[in-house]
């Protein structure tokens, strides 16, 4: 029985290692599972607040308070469904000559900060050919003294200060804007 200590040591080592590993695994696994149960259970148990029925809203352009959609001031109206960003990649006309063109695609999670500018990845002069994107206008490379710079001018760096996406939201108020071409052709017709 000279092997006895060896067998004892080996047995104890195996049992201890297995026990530690299983306990660790079980603990982590259980905490994960119970967490997901709680997440699933939450929305079912939370009662939905009854949405007050919105009174018939007057047609756009005639109502006084477009933002409240005719809901009395003492009540809270149901939130309107969120509008979707138009992602058709078809360029839109400008409504007036100096209008910054609108963005015809979604820009979710585009990072524009001092570290990186996602728009310029495609729209910078140097990259426009790779992605077949319209390069930004030369005016964006000019400083305020009309001197041309090699890179985008700092005052033009934050694209979405002027360029915005368009959504399929219905206009809250009517718009009677006519662009200059319409006005001119109407004047000529009269």
Determine if 127 is a binding residue for another protein (CB under 8 A): yes
Determine if 5 is a binding residue for another protein (CB under 8 A): yes
Binding window for another protein (CB under 8 A); candidates: 15-23, 37-45, 50-58, 173-181? 15-23
Kindly tell me which of 119 and 140 has the beta carbon lying closer to another protein. 119
Is residue 122 within 8 Å of residue 134, measured between CB atoms?
Answer: no
CB of 107 to another protein, least distance (A): 12
Contacts of 111 (CB under 8 A, 6+ apart): 117, 118
Binding window for another protein (CB under 8 A); candidates: 20-28, 51-59, 60-68, 134-142? 20-28
Determine if 43 is a binding residue for another protein (CB under 8 A): no
Is residue 106 within 8 Å of residue 87, measured between CB atoms?
Answer: yes
What's the CA gap between 139 and 153, in Å, rounded?
Answer: 9
For tokens 């660790």, name the residue. 24
SS3 89: coil
Contacts of 162 (CB under 8 A, 6+ apart): 100
What residue ranges bind another protein (CB under 8 A)? 1-3, 5-7, 10, 14, 17-18, 20-22, 24-25, 28-29, 31-32, 35, 87-89, 105-106, 108-109, 111, 114-116, 118, 121-122, 127, 130-132
């Amino acid at each position: 029985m000279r092997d006895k200590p060896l067998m004892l040591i080996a047995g104890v080592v195996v049992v201890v290692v297995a026990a530690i590993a299983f306990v660790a695994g079980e603990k982590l696994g259980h905490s994960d599972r119970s967490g997901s149960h709680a997440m699933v259970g939450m929305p079912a148990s939370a009662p939905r607040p009854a949405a007050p029925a919105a009174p018939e809203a007057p047609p756009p352009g005639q109502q006084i308070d477009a933002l409240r959609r005719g809901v009395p001031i003492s009540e809270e109206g149901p939130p309107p469904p969120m509008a979707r960003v138009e992602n058709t990649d078809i360029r839109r006309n400008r409504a007036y000559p100096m209008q910054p063109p609108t963005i015809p695609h979604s820009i979710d999670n585009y990072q524009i900060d001092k570290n990186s500018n996602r728009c310029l990845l495609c729209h910078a002069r140097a990259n426009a050919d790779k992605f077949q994107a319209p390069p930004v206008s030369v005016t964006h490379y000019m400083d305020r003294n009309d001197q041309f710079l090699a890179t985008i001018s700092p005052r033009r760096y934050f694209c979405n200060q002027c360029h915005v996406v368009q959504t399929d939201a219905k206009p809250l108020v009517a718009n009677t804007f006519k662009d200059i071409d319409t006005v001119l052709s109407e004047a000529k017709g009269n």
